[in-house]
């Protein structure tokens, strides 16, 4: 699916693989300064600070390629393909070029060297090893970089090429299956967030590592993540890509429309499309939560800020590093600089005609898929009783 009026790029599709994730917190933004001298994060959202007018968008078109025989493919599950997809450099290029993501992690480490200096660090899902390299350069005594995909072989070469072989040990395998050369680590760092925050379910891997290896007073980076919900007007896109299936060259193909509605769309949303307030759904404390906390049901009430139509609900997340000297983090919201996570769009079956001050209420249930826990099942219940229309519905979504 391609998105609408805000750009010509193609959105991210979710067919089981990534294609080439209270009180207001104010994070500073200084994207033009040298990286060691910047402060805070590199983007902001109204959920964290005052709204930003920055509407730049990241263009992405990277593909996942696989390097195995047909017989190997026949024996693999969708969970195996998750790791294989990260074997290709393209997806790592996309993530590294996401400056909001990568610069924030770099700032956290370089500007808070007291956190990592002389400490033992575990990098969960290390990829190319970029976070391990940051930690090594900041003075960590040793870093264990764990990566399950074939990118681990490249990470070893990268570590050697940069002269950190004596500080960084790259371990190839699943966190749940490997054994570290040490009993405990002082810090766990990971970029575990997926689309809709929880897609791919890497969070449970971080929690497993925390419970097995982290010292009692150890630190998890990042340690807070929050999921938000808002509602948008999106008539042009919904008409072009979803309602299209009602009648195709004179034939009823509405069965495909039903499928299109079930699959959430990952794409950038123009901030001008936002119709309601942005509501906090869930905050997760990574240092304390249990794996079961990633399954939840949250109520919501979205109040219209103008007379308009609602075609979809939109979810996005913020991430915080609260152990820094100065609170640091970033947002993936539509009022912030774009990231490779974009936003997650849940299209409604019916159009809600809403007047300023009226509210759409309901609940959002989120849980890992029972067959493949890296996928997400979402159940949206919502109702609206306004001057122009009345609606009460339950919709099911599947992120694959």
Shared-domain flag, residues 83 and 130: yes
Between the alpha carbon of residue 123 and those of residues 25, 44, 136, 218, 322, the distances in Å are 27, 26, 11, 14, 18
The answer to whether residue 205 scores a pLDDT higher than 80 is yes
Q: Determine which of 42-51, 156-165, 271-280, 373-382 has the lowest per-residue pLDDT on average.
A: 42-51
CATH code: domain of residue 381? 2.70.160.11
- pLDDT over 70 percentage in the chain: 77
Averaged pLDDT score across all residues of the chain: 83
Shared-domain flag, residues 278 and 373: yes
The average pLDDT across 334-340 equals 95
In a domain, 44, yes or no: no
The average pLDDT across 169-185 equals 96
Shared-domain flag, residues 240 and 181: no
The answer to whether residue 131 scores a pLDDT higher than 50 is yes
CA 268 to chain centre: 13
> In 3D, which of 273, 198, 281 has the Cα closest to residue 231?
273
> In 3D, which of 382, 196, 198 has the Cα closest to residue 302?
382
pLDDT at position 73, please? 41
Q: Are strands 142-147 and 120-124 parallel, antiparallel or unpaired?
A: parallel
pLDDT at position 88, please? 55
The answer to whether residue 84 scores a pLDDT higher than 70 is no
Shared-domain flag, residues 289 and 339: yes
Shared-domain flag, residues 239 and 373: yes
In a domain, 14, yes or no: no
Mapped onto helix, strand or coil, the DSSP state of residue 116 is helix
Shared-domain flag, residues 158 and 306: no
Shared-domain flag, residues 306 and 349: yes
Shared-domain flag, residues 232 and 180: no
Q: Categorize the per-residue pLDDT at 148 as very low, low, confident or very high, splitting at 50, 70 and 90.
A: very high
Shared-domain flag, residues 253 and 390: yes
Per the annotation, the verdict on 160 as an active-site residue is: no
In a domain, 271, yes or no: yes
CA 8 to chain centre: 22
Last residue of a domain, one of 191, 209, 239: 191
Each residue's pLDDT tens digit, 6-65: 333 344 444 434 443 333 344 434 443 344 444 444 454 444 433 334 433 333 333 333
Distance between CA 57 and CA 11 in Å, rounded?
Answer: 12
In a domain, 71, yes or no: no
Distance between CA 174 and CA 229 in Å, rounded?
Answer: 33
Cβ atoms 187, 122 nearer than 8 A: yes
Count of structural domains within the chain? 2
In a domain, 321, yes or no: yes
Selecting among 147, 200, 233, 358, the annotated active-site residue is 200
Per the annotation, the verdict on 200 as an active-site residue is: yes
The answer to whether residue 135 scores a pLDDT higher than 60 is yes
Is the torsion defined by CA of 250, 3, 271, 350 positive or negative? positive
The average pLDDT across 146-170 equals 96
- Give the DSSP H/E element, type plus range, for residue 345: strand 343-354
pLDDT at position 241, please? 86
Q: Categorize the per-residue pLDDT at 142 as very low, low, confident or very high, splitting at 50, 70 and 90.
A: very high
- pLDDT over 90 percentage in the chain: 72
Q: Report the predicted TM-score, pTM, of the whole model to 2 decimal places.
A: 0.81
DSSP one-letter code for 202: -
> In 3D, which of 276, 357, 258, 355 has the Cα closest to residue 312?
276
Shared-domain flag, residues 261 and 372: yes
pLDDT at position 43, please? 58
Cβ atoms 281, 233 nearer than 8 A: no
Shared-domain flag, residues 179 and 275: no
Mapped onto helix, strand or coil, the DSSP state of residue 104 is helix
DSSP one-letter code for 71: H
The average pLDDT across 331-351 equals 96
Selecting among 94, 147, 191, 233, the annotated active-site residue is 191
Domain coverage including residue 290: 224-399
The answer to whether residue 400 scores a pLDDT higher than 60 is yes
pLDDT at position 95, please? 80
DSSP one-letter code for 260: H
Each residue's pLDDT tens digit, 234-276: 999 998 889 999 999 999 999 999 999 999 999 999 999 999 9
């Amino acid at each position: 699916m391609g998105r609408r009026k805000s750009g010509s790029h193609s959105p991210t599709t979710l067919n089981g693989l990534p294609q080439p994730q209270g009180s207001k917190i104010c994070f500073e933004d200084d994207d033009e300064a040298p990286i060691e001298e910047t402060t805070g994060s590199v983007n902001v959202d109204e959920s964290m600070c005052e709204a930003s007018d920055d509407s730049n968008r990241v263009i992405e078109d990277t593909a996942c390629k696989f390097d195995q025989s047909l017989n190997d493919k026949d024996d693999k599950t969708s969970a195996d393909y998750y790791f294989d997809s990260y074997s290709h450099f393209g997806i790592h290029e996309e993530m590294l070029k996401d400056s909001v993501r990568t610069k924030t992690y770099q700032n956290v480490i370089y500007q808070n060297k007291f956190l990592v200096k002389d400490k033992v660090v575990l990098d969960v899902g290390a990829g190319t090893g970029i976070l391990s390299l940051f930690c090594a350069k900041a003075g960590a005594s040793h870093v264990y970089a764990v990566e399950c995909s074939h990118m681990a072989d490249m990470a070893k070469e990268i570590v050697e090429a940069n002269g950190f072989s004596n500080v960084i040990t790259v371990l190839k395998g699943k966190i749940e299956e490997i054994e570290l050369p040490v009993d405990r680590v002082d810090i766990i760092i990971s970029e575990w967030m997926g689309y809709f925050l929880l897609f791919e379910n890497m969070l449970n891997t971080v929690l497993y590592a925390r419970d097995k290896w982290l010292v009692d007073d150890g630190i998890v980076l990042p340690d807070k993540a929050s999921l938000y919900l808002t509602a948008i007007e999106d008539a042009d896109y919904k008409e072009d890509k979803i309602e299209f299936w009602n009648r195709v060259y004179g034939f009823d193909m509405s069965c495909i429309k039903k499928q299109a509605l079930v699959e959430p769309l990952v794409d950038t949303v123009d901030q001008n499309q936002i119709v309601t307030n942005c509501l906090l759904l869930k905050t997760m404390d990574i240092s304390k939560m249990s794996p079961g906390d990633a399954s939840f049901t949250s109520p919501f009430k979205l109040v219209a800020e103008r007379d308009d139509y609602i075609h979809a609900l939109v979810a996005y997340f913020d991430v915080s590093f609260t152990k820094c000297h100065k609170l640091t983090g970033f947002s993936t919201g539509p009022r912030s600089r774009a990231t490779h996570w974009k936003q997650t769009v849940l299209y409604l079956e019916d159009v809600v005609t809403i007047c300023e001050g009226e509210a759409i209420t309901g609940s959002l249930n989120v849980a890992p898929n029972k067959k493949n826990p890296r996928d997400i099942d979402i159940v949206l219940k919502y109702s609206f009783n306004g001057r122009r229309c009345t609606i009460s519905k339950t919709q099911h979504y599947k992120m694959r």
